[in-house]
Amino acid sequence: MKNLLFILLFVFSFSSWAQPLTFDPTCTTPGDLVSSSVSLPEFQLVCQHLVDTDPACLRIAPENKMNCEKGQSANRLLSSNDMLSKIGQCIKGFLWDSLADLGNMIVDLISTLVDVNVKSYTAMAKFLVDDEFRNESIAKLKKGGGEGSKLAMDFIRMASAYFAQEFPRNLSDSYYNPAVALGKTLFEPLVKMLSQAVEGIAQHYISEYNCLNGVAKSNTICKAVGSLIMPPTAIFAFLKGGKAALVALEATEKGAAAVKASRMSFAQMNHLKAAAKLTDAERLTEAGKLLDGMKLTKAQEEAIIAAHKIGIADGRGFYTYTQADISKKARILREAGFDPDQTRLLMEKGITGTFANPNTTSLANGARVQAQTYGITINKLASSGQDVAQEMAKYKTAFKEAGENYSLAASSSKNPLVLKMAWESSAKSGDVGATLAAYNKGLKEFGMNQQKMMMGISQDILNLQRKVAANPKDPTLALELKTLKEVEAKLKGVQPPASIPKPIVAETAVKAEVKAEVKAEAKSGISVPENMKWNEARDVANKYRLARQPEEASHYYMKAAQKKDFSDRQFAQAFEESMKGQGTVAREMFTKADNKQLNAYLNEMFERELHYTKNATEKANLRKILEDIRDNKDKKSALYMPQERMLENMLRWTKE
């Protein structure tokens, strides 16, 4: 009897176990299957069936299709952490160009999501910190209840938690631009939300998307952001109401035009690729054919080439041009005599455009911003004595990636500023080889002066030594300094010192006759001869600097800068020496500078001094400049006029 019972139980259990797997009725599409929690055997069976029969899956190359062997995780986009480091970079590269642009985008986004006026940073602060005000503002968003609004709610909750704690710290690093501080504070929560939002939009527009494996989805998102997806209009709409909002957007004239353009993008791709490869001569020939054999004037030929070049140096191309790029291209063509229809035709057919190189500044900028985000975390951990090894590894990797992409972009754009970014990013990553490669690229591809480049390295090392002295717990500064010292040693053919010496101010013996000459000039007052050549003014300035007469040195450095079309190096030396003296030249810079690039550079130097100087004389000069700005609000100044409270805080800081 016992044996019979055992046999019956065995047969029963075997028959139950041996039943064939059946399709889960809820997993009828690739998207449903990937998001399900079915067992691996059932996943494999359903997956293979869908891959073999689903029309969308049949259109995909085998290497990009769902991986039926590895289960759901291998076919999802990426984890939230991976999204931040991978997807976040390509999203950042297409949606915003700087932390200030990101800050302004966040203001617009929240204003759009909750139908509340948060155009000012005061209102933004109130929204993120005041629970009652925020809850009233998002009542409408809660009612929406769609896929997008849930993402938006998650972002707002996360942003609120980040804001009160991190914004004041970031603001202390960006006194003059609250948008930068806002962007830095909310970068991480925003990227996580945007990654999910962009995936939702991709599913709406790309029929094959759900049948892709995880890696292919990642690559598709990075390509789609700049071509198929319409940022930020569609993104804002999706976050507010999900896919239903996208359908509503398409019903509008503006939305329909955007969607039409996006859906045309893949159909036009081959045509645009051909246009992107044209030489200048071929471009002009094709333009004539496109305009029914029109004979182009010299001015029109020059206009076509000039319009074609807009945006290239900044890493932009088809689908990533800014509105300013497009307006500038159109204006150049119209001014050359093309009518509106001809202008539109030349632009739509790609004659005046190109594809953005995937290795241009868009990707590099994204990696750099990510590295800076890690740097903020590292500083927090280091200041409290915690281990930073894990974050430092991420920091190095991100800056290494930025350096590589900047280097490629520099070669394609021939822009020395991009090469400078490659150099700086490589040095920050601790990669001596990549930093040396950027140096050699400057010599070979850009024809830079070797002696000047070596002087620049020495100056960078001196500046970093000062920063390390002011921030001894910051491992990122120590890493960059160590890298540059190794680079300098290799270039000079000597081994680097075993340890990094404490910061010193280089003192060179000045011959007695030079001292006498300097003193004689000083007695007669500071009057720089107008007809001096830039190098003559620089040499005299160097003598004054070595004799520790900064006020005189600053006047001559300024003359050298003016004679050399405001050379960055001499301009910086004029500012730094002036701050050590009476501050006369530095204050004049803020009231007389009228060059936009010069103004930006001046602000950068001022902010650096504000953060790092410990010298009483320099702090007094900073204070004088701040007081001049406060007391002469109607007077034109190159320095960004901060809010009253911020200005008072800075004045208080310089008094401490």
Average pLDDT over residues 138-162: 74
pLDDT value at position 608? 61
Chain centre distance of CA 132: 34
Average pLDDT over residues 252-257: 54
Under 8 Å between Cβ of 34 and 209: no
Query: How far, in Å, CA of 298 to CA of 466, rounded?
Result: 54
The answer on 143 and 101 residing in a single domain is: yes
The answer on 235 and 130 residing in a single domain is: yes
The answer on 240 and 109 residing in a single domain is: yes
Long-range pairs for 516-525 at CB < 8 Å and ≥24 separation? 517/543, 518/543, 518/544, 518/547, 518/549, 518/552, 519/547, 521/552, 522/549, 522/552
User: Considering only CA atoms, which of 133, 137, 87 is closest in space to residue 112?
Assistant: 137
Residue 506 lies in a domain: no
The answer on 238 and 204 residing in a single domain is: yes
Average pLDDT over residues 61-66: 80
> Is the predicted pLDDT of residue 270 greater than 80, yes or no?
no
User: Considering only CA atoms, which of 270, 264, 284 is closest in space to residue 355?
Assistant: 270
pLDDT value at position 201? 74
Long-range pairs for 36-40 at CB < 8 Å and ≥24 separation? 36/72, 37/72, 40/71
> Is the predicted pLDDT of residue 653 greater than 50, yes or no?
yes
The answer on 87 and 112 residing in a single domain is: yes
pLDDT bracket for residue 404 (50, 70, 90): confident
Query: How far, in Å, CA of 574 to CA of 517, rounded?
Result: 20
Q: What's this model's pTM, rounded to 2 decimal places?
A: 0.38
Rg of the chain in Å (alpha carbons): 30
> Is the predicted pLDDT of residue 546 greater than 50, yes or no?
yes
Residue 470 lies in a domain: yes
pLDDT value at position 221? 67
Residue 196 lies in a domain: yes
Q: Which two tokens stand for residue 107?
A: 């203001």
The answer on 244 and 110 residing in a single domain is: yes
Last residue of a domain, one of 464, 492, 520: 492
User: Considering only CA atoms, which of 216, 204, 215, 275 is closest in space to residue 241?
Assistant: 204
The answer on 374 and 334 residing in a single domain is: no
The answer on 239 and 307 residing in a single domain is: no
Query: How far, in Å, CA of 620 to CA of 578, rounded?
Result: 12
Dihedral sign (CA 305, 310, 316, 319): negative
User: Considering only CA atoms, which of 618, 617, 619 is closest in space to residue 654?
Assistant: 619
pLDDT tens-place string over residues 280-337: 888 898 888 888 888 899 999 999 988 888 876 665 665 456 656 777 888 888 888 8
Last residue of a domain, one of 201, 227, 258: 258
Residue 327 makes CB contacts below 8 A (sequence gap 6+) with none
The answer on 525 and 387 residing in a single domain is: no
Query: How far, in Å, CA of 353 to CA of 355, rounded?
Result: 7
The answer on 89 and 234 residing in a single domain is: yes
Query: How far, in Å, CA of 107 to CA of 471, rounded?
Result: 33
Q: Cis before residue 232, ω within 30 degrees of 0? A: yes
Backbone dihedral angles phi then psi of residue 149, each to the nearest 5 degrees: -65, -30
The answer on 649 and 519 residing in a single domain is: yes
For residues 133 and 519, the model is more confident at: 133
Query: How far, in Å, CA of 356 to CA of 66, rounded?
Result: 29
The total number of structural domains in the chain stands at 5
pLDDT tens-place string over residues 514-540: 344 344 444 435 667 777 777 777 777
pLDDT bracket for residue 385 (50, 70, 90): confident
pLDDT tens-place string over residues 178-198: 777 787 788 877 877 777 777
Q: Which two tokens stand for residue 463?
A: 């500046």
Range in 136-145, 297-306, 437-446 with the lowest mean pLDDT: 136-145
For residues 361 and 138, the model is more confident at: 138
Strand, coil or helix: 149: helix
For residues 13 and 412, the model is more confident at: 412
Average per-residue pLDDT for the chain: 70
Neighbours of 148 (CB within 10 A): 28
pLDDT value at position 595? 57
pLDDT bracket for residue 157 (50, 70, 90): confident
Average pLDDT over residues 438-467: 82
Last residue of a domain, one of 289, 318, 348: 348
pLDDT value at position 119? 60
Give the domain extent around 629. Answer: 512-655
Residue 283 lies in a domain: yes
